[in-house]
């Protein structure tokens, strides 16, 4: 089957209204499909002022703000104009990217027409309740996700470590890899800018520990702040460079007084900020891949990350950075202190990470997804 024969209906809970790693990956996939001549329609919530323009034709679906995270929308289902548009589009494969009510409706629609469904897994939704005092709900959420994913024809995960988790949870028997790439025109060591650092109050000889991403609790802000407190207690000189924005900014700023916040940055400004870090601390366990980890590596910045899904597939312990057991604040502090006092070690691990990042090409990675589409379509036809 030729890629130009693909007619892909892509469902997303957040395609472009808030910028994050998951929807940027979906937009890059959409761009690749359209450049190859495939037909694509995207079904996702719309807002008046999205974070960036959507790639491809975006059809709005009904959604409401999530009460405790109002920047996000909760999709409610598939009916009315969106459902009529889907029928008129006549897809030959359905791609769902989050197990929400609209994805459930799309799955039922596809089952009634014997169309294949591919689900891409972008985050550890089953771990989110613990950050909002509802850890008791995690087993129920995992069971609910398993019922959904087992009805899909196949899953793709961003990393082998995440695929291993999904297999262990019994989510599906057909699980492949849709990795992530890095834009080397944006991210690279040459973008380091000491003058820009000085403008933020970070001296040339000061060590900047970076945080990159949405400033939300599920990114491990509690562990990050506790690690910085321990470094201050030990007298380890450092600054914190926070690149990103989110609802927990006030909470984070109060607990990390040495932090400088840049807000949300994109394109060249983002590449400059990442390259200007001296190390990246990524204590999150909710990542399925770790886009920020790869971006830091491409920028020649060593990474200290939780030994969790995503990071274990990218960071080589003791070569491109350090892997620390989740929540082990003393170990995170020890790793940072070692880098802070040894510029040669930082440089060596940063260079090794930059070399490793060269293996991640977006077109090759997205081409693998189209191969899954065609395989599932042909299997259904047989």
**Structure tokens, 168:** 């262990």
pLDDT tens digits for 285-332?
877 567 899 999 999 999 999 998 768 878 999 999 999 999 999 999
Share of the chain above pLDDT 70, in %: 95
pLDDT tens digits for 197-211?
999 999 999 999 999
- pLDDT confidence bin for 136, thresholds 50/70/90: low
**Structure tokens, 211:** 């945080």
pLDDT of residue 139 exceeding 80: no
pLDDT tens digits for 154-192?
999 988 888 998 999 999 999 999 988 888 899 999 999
> What's the average model confidence in pLDDT over 100-123?
95
- Most confident segment among 66-70, 259-263, 285-289, 359-363: 259-263
> What's the average model confidence in pLDDT over 327-343?
97
pLDDT tens digits for 8-39?
999 999 999 998 888 999 999 999 999 999 99
Q: How far is CA 334 from the centre of its chain?
A: 27
350: CB partners within 8 A, 6+ apart: 189, 300, 301, 302
pLDDT of residue 126 exceeding 70: no
Task: Please state, in angstroms and rounded to a whole number, the distance separating the CA atoms of residues 245 and 156.
Answer: 28
Task: Please state, in angstroms and rounded to a whole number, the distance separating the CA atoms of residues 18 and 28.
Answer: 15
Domains of the chain: 3-181+361-381 (3.40.50.2000), 189-357 (3.40.50.2000)
- pLDDT confidence bin for 153, thresholds 50/70/90: very high
pLDDT tens digits for 235-251?
999 999 999 999 999 99
Instruction: Tell me what pLDDT residue 286 has.
Output: 73
7: CB partners within 8 A, 6+ apart: 38, 39, 40, 89, 90, 91, 92, 93
pLDDT of residue 129 exceeding 50: no
Instruction: Tell me what pLDDT residue 349 has.
Output: 98
Task: Please give the residue that has the higher pLDDT: either 169 or 134.
Answer: 169
> What's the average model confidence in pLDDT over 366-372?
95
Share of the chain above pLDDT 90, in %: 77
């Amino acid at each position: 089957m030729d890629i130009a024969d693909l007619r892909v209906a892509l469902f997303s809970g957040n395609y472009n209204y808030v910028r994050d790693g998951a929807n940027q990956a979906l937009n890059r996939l959409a761009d690749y499909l359209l450049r190859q001549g495939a037909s694509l329609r995207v079904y996702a919530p719309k807002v008046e002022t999205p974070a960036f323009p959507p790639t491809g034709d975006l059809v709005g679906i009904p959604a409401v703000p999530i009460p405790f995270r109002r920047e996000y929308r909760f999709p409610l289902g598939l009916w009315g104009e969106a459902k009529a548009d889907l029928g008129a589009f006549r897809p030959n494969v359905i791609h769902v990217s989050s197990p929400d009510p609209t994805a459930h409706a799309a799955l039922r629609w596809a089952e009634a027409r014997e169309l294949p469904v591919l689900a891409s897994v972008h985050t550890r939704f089953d771990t989110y309740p613990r950050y909002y005092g509802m850890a008791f709900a995690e087993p129920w959420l995992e069971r609910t996700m398993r019922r959904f994913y087992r009805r899909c024809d196949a899953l793709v995960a961003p990393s082998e470590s995440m695929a291993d988790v999904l297999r262990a949870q019994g989510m599906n028997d057909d699980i492949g890899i849709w990795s992530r790439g890095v834009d080397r025109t944006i991210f690279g060591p040459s973008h380091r800018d000491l003058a820009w650092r000085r403008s933020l109050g970070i001296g040339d000889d000061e060590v900047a520990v970076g945080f990159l991403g949405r400033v939300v609790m599920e990114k491990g802000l509690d562990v990050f702040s506790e690690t910085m407190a321990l470094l201050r207690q030990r007298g380890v000189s450092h600054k914190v460079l926070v690149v990103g924005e989110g609802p927990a900014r006030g909470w984070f700023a109060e607990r990390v007084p040495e932090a400088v916040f840049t807000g949300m940055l994109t394109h060249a400004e983002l590449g400059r900020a990442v390259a200007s870090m001296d190390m990246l601390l990524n204590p999150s366990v909710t990542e399925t891949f770790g886009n920020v980890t790869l971006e830091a590596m491409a920028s020649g910045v060593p990474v200290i990350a939780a030994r969790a899904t995503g990071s274990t597939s990218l960071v080589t312990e003791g070569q491109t950075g350090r892997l620390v057991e989740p929540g082990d604040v003393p170990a995170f502090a020890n790793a940072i202190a070692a880098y802070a006092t040894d510029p040669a070690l930082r440089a060596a691990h940063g260079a090794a990470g930059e070399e490793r990042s060269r293996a991640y090409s977006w077109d090759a990675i997205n081409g693998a997804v189209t191969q899954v589409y065609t395989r599932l379509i042909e299997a259904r036809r047989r």
